[in-house]
A and B are shown apart, each in its own frame.
Chain A
């Protein structure tokens, strides 16, 4: 058991070291979130927002959750890249449980995503979205949840992929719809029944909603922005996390064995 934990930590550290060695990656990973927040959020606010319902803040919180979720999910997919670089051979011949390998990867990518979240939170102080130190601290556990859920989702996607190329093709398809179904930029309180149904299936929705529940806590917009009780969201996130991780890892292990 101790050996498995050590292995999980070593695998996680490897991913984190990769980020430290390549700080440009952190900067480039912030470009899209910034465009979303500043350009999209800013223009939405200017066109449709008002003093009561700030769309810039709404977009900021949505993008924060989305960035953490997506970064972790995409990071886990790097197992595929390792395989193409022949590095995973090295990992897979070690006498370590496949589950530990995946768990280490998920933890590592969470560590890679968190600095991105931190950078966005720091930007929050100058963007005029009402960021305070108390809020920033309160966001941390939610950020962790968003990363873990994203990583588990990544494992599930990964288990159905063959190559880096298929990953590049499939990823926009499984992520982009979630941007809108999760209401990252667009309020989704009133959706047509079909879209409302699909929205409940989008894992990102729960990360975004938890993020907003924390950020808007104690604000008067809370009831208009937050969709569900945080406890309910947390329960759903917990179930999704476990199902994604267990099913994803089982499928992945089976596929590796057949290779």
Chain B
């Protein structure tokens, strides 16, 4: 519930139209929220009936064919098949996540919320989960809204929001955030430092000298920068920030503001 202002999801107000909102969204919690005593299919069926998608029937066979078709389709997308009729307690962490995603997609949500979906998964499951999420995003057109601590996972997002201490400290595309926060620069060691100093001054390039020369790119690209320098260079090292660098820079800046 918002403490001030209003929140709308899929066009509905979360406060006054909470039931409408609930039917628009799918949620995958940080902690798996599956009933381990039931089979995977029973978990999905339970969910689908609670969302009012299909009438209650006691078994999979007696469920409407529309349900079975949708169930099969989604299970196949996520690469779960025969396992779907086995008890969830025998599932691995990665399979449980996939099952939860199948479940959350049954009602064709407009927004799929994932709370650290890859936390605690091995590298292999993590990668395949991402492939599936990408597939789902393109196939269903749903907005995927996720929180993560693995920043390399966020590199492919359309929009990133960094929150620190409950406040938004940065918002935009991954490229925007990186550009805003972290400098891109080239570190070079010239054969003749004096010649380079003269040349840089003539070109008007900002630089700092700590043994090697650090040339600020300030938006221009690496190639044109290097091309404009005639002084022979012994080493060249470009620094392109990762999202993680940006994140750490954001947090540092917001700490200083406090």
Q: Which A residues contact B (CB, under 8 angstroms)?
A: 2-3, 5-7, 9-11, 13-14, 17-18, 21-22, 85-91, 93-96
B50 touches A10 (CB 8 A): yes
* Residues of chain B in range 6-48 having any CB-CB distance to chain A below 8 Å: 19-20, 22-23, 25, 27, 29, 31-38, 42, 45-47
Query: Which secondary structure dominates chain A's binding surface?
Result: helix
Contacts of A87 in B (CB 8 A): 33-35
Chain A residue nearest in CB terms to B59? A13
Instruction: Check B22–A95 contact: CB distance below 8 A.
Output: yes
- B56–A9 contact, CB under 8 A? yes
In the complex, are the beta carbons of A90 and B38 less than 8 A apart?
A: no
Which of A18, A21, A86, A94 contacts B50 (CB under 8 A)?
A: A94
Q: Is the CB of B49 within 8 A of A10?
A: yes
B-chain residues with CB within 8 Å of residue A14 when the two chains form the complex: 35, 38, 42, 46
6 closest Cβ contacts across the A-B interface? A3-B52, A95-B22, A6-B56, A94-B50, A10-B49, A9-B56
Interface residues of chain B: helix, strand, loop or mixed (majority): loop
Distance between A36 CB and nearest chain B CB, rounded to angstroms: 29
Question: Number of B interface residues, CB 8 Å?
Answer: 27
A95 touches B37 (CB 8 A): no
Q: Which of B132-172 contact A (CB under 8 A)?
A: none
Task: Point out the residues of chain B lying under 8 angstroms from A17, CB to CB.
Answer: 37-38, 42
A10-B36 Cα distance, complex, nearest whole Å: 16
What's the Cα separation between A17 and B36 when bound, in Å? 12
A21 to B49, CA, bound (A): 21
Closest to A96 in B: B50
CB-CB under 8 A for A13 and B58, given A86-B31, A95-B19:
yes
Q: How far is the CA of A89 from the CA of B31 in the complex (A)?
A: 10
Q: How far apart are the CA atoms of A21 and B50 in the complex, in Å?
A: 22
The reply to whether A89 and B23 contact each other, CB–CB distance below 8 Å, is: no
